[in-house]
Chains A and B, each alone.
Chain A
Amino acid sequence: MADLSVSPTVERGGFAACPACAVTPAAEELAARAAQLEGASLSLSLPGIHCAACIDTVERALVAAPGVREARVNLTLKRAQVKADPEVTAEDLVRVVEGVGYEAHELDPGTIAATATDRAGRALLMRLAVAGFASMNVMLLSVSVWSGAEDATRDLFHWISAAITLPAIAFCAQPFFANAAAALRVRRLNMDVPIALAITLALVTSLWETSLSGEHAYFDAALTLTFFLLAGRYLDHRTRSAARSAAEELAALEVPRAIALRDGAEVQLPIAELRIGDLVLVRPGGRMPVDGEIAEGTSELDRSLLTGETRPVPARPGQAVSAGEVNLTGPLTLRATAIGRDTSLARMADLVAIAESGRSRYTSLADRAARLYAPGVHILSALSFLGWYLWSGDLRVALNIAAAVLIITCPCALGLAVPAVTTAASGRLFRKGMLVKHETALERLSEVDTVVFDKTGTLTSGKPRVVNLDVLAPEARGIALALAAGSSHPLSQALAAALAEETPAPLTDLREVPGYGTEAFLAGQRVRLGRAEWLGASSGQETATWLQTPAGLTEIRFADSLRPGAQEAVSQLLAQGKKVALISGDTEGAVAALAARLGITDWQAGALPGEKAARVAALQDGGAKVLMVGDGLNDTAALTTAHVSISPASALDAARVASDIVLLGGELSPIPGALETASRATRRIRENFRIATFYNVIAVPLAVAGLCSPLIAALAMSTSSITVSLNALRLR
Chain B
Amino acid sequence: MDILVWLIPISLFLGGLGLVAFIWTVRSDQYEDPDGSSQRILSDQWDDHPKP
* Chain A interface residues (CB < 8 Å from chain B): 1, 4, 51-53, 55-56, 59-60, 73-77, 122, 125-126, 129-130, 133, 136-137, 140-141, 153, 156, 160, 164
Identify which of A56, A136, A140 contacts B43 (C-beta below 8 A): A56
Once the chains bind, are B35 and A76 in contact (CB under 8 Å)?
yes
Once the chains bind, are B16 and A51 in contact (CB under 8 Å)?
no
Residues on B with beta carbons closer than 8 Å to the beta carbon of A133: 15-16, 18-19, 22
Once the chains bind, are A60 and B15 in contact (CB under 8 Å)?
no
The answer for the CA separation of A140 and B43 in the assembled complex, in Å, is 42
The answer for the CA separation of A133 and B11 in the assembled complex, in Å, is 11
> Mind listing 20 A-B residue pairs with CB under 8 Å?
A52-B40, A52-B41, A52-B42, A55-B43, A56-B43, A59-B45, A60-B45, A74-B33, A74-B36, A75-B36, A76-B36, A133-B18, A133-B19, A133-B22, A137-B11, A137-B12, A137-B15, A140-B11, A153-B1, A156-B4
Given contacts A75-B33, A129-B22, contact A51 B39 (CB under 8 A): yes
Once the chains bind, are A129 and B23 in contact (CB under 8 Å)?
yes
Once the chains bind, are A160 and B26 in contact (CB under 8 Å)?
no
The answer for the CA separation of A75 and B12 in the assembled complex, in Å, is 37
Identify which of B8, B32, B39 contacts A55 (C-beta below 8 A): B39
Nearest B residue to A121 via CB reads B31
Name the residue among B8, B11, B18 with the largest chain A CB count within 10 angstroms: B8
Nearest B residue to A59 via CB reads B45
Nearest A residue to B46 via CB reads A56
Known: A129-B19, A164-B12. 20 other contacts (CB 8 A): A1-B42, A53-B43, A55-B36, A55-B40, A56-B45, A59-B45, A60-B45, A75-B35, A76-B33, A125-B31, A126-B26, A129-B23, A130-B19, A133-B16, A133-B18, A133-B19, A137-B15, A153-B1, A153-B4, A156-B4
Residues on B with beta carbons closer than 8 Å to the beta carbon of A141: 8
A-B interface, 6 closest residue pairs, ranked by CB to CB distance from nearest: A75-B36, A52-B42, A52-B39, A133-B19, A76-B35, A75-B35
Once the chains bind, are A160 and B8 in contact (CB under 8 Å)?
yes
Which B1-52 residues sit within 8 Å CB-CB of chain A?
1, 4, 8, 11-12, 15-16, 18-19, 22-23, 26, 31-36, 39-43, 45
The answer for the CA separation of A133 and B18 in the assembled complex, in Å, is 8
The answer for the CA separation of A34 and B7 in the assembled complex, in Å, is 61
Least CB distance from A346 to B in Å reads: 35
Nearest A residue to B9 via CB reads A160
Residues on A with beta carbons closer than 8 Å to the beta carbon of B34: 76
Interface of A is mostly: helix
Least CB distance from A309 to B in Å reads: 42
Least CB distance from B2 to A in Å reads: 12
The answer for the CA separation of A140 and B40 in the assembled complex, in Å, is 38
Residues on B with beta carbons closer than 8 Å to the beta carbon of A160: 8
Residues on A with beta carbons closer than 8 Å to the beta carbon of B8: 141, 160
Residues on A with beta carbons closer than 8 Å to the beta carbon of B41: 52
Nearest B residue to A133 via CB reads B19
Residues on B with beta carbons closer than 8 Å to the beta carbon of A4: 42
Once the chains bind, are B32 and A76 in contact (CB under 8 Å)?
yes
The answer for the CA separation of A60 and B51 in the assembled complex, in Å, is 12
Nearest A residue to B27 via CB reads A122
Given contacts A133-B16, A133-B18, A160-B8, contact A125 B39 (CB under 8 A): no
Residues on B with beta carbons closer than 8 Å to the beta carbon of A73: 36
The answer for the CA separation of A76 and B35 in the assembled complex, in Å, is 5
Residues on A with beta carbons closer than 8 Å to the beta carbon of B33: 74-77
Residues on B with beta carbons closer than 8 Å to the beta carbon of A56: 43, 45
Once the chains bind, are A125 and B26 in contact (CB under 8 Å)?
yes
Nearest B residue to A122 via CB reads B26
Nearest B residue to A73 via CB reads B36
The answer for the CA separation of A4 and B41 in the assembled complex, in Å, is 14
The answer for the CA separation of A1 and B44 in the assembled complex, in Å, is 11
Residues on A with beta carbons closer than 8 Å to the beta carbon of B15: 133, 136-137
Least CB distance from B18 to A in Å reads: 7
Residues on B with beta carbons closer than 8 Å to the beta carbon of A129: 19, 22-23, 26
Given contacts A56-B45, A137-B11, A137-B12, contact A75 B39 (CB under 8 A): yes
Residues on B with beta carbons closer than 8 Å to the beta carbon of A51: 39, 42
Residues on B with beta carbons closer than 8 Å to the beta carbon of A77: 33
The answer for the CA separation of A618 and B34 in the assembled complex, in Å, is 46
The answer for the CA separation of A73 and B35 in the assembled complex, in Å, is 11
Residues on A with beta carbons closer than 8 Å to the beta carbon of B43: 52-53, 55-56
Nearest B residue to A79 via CB reads B33
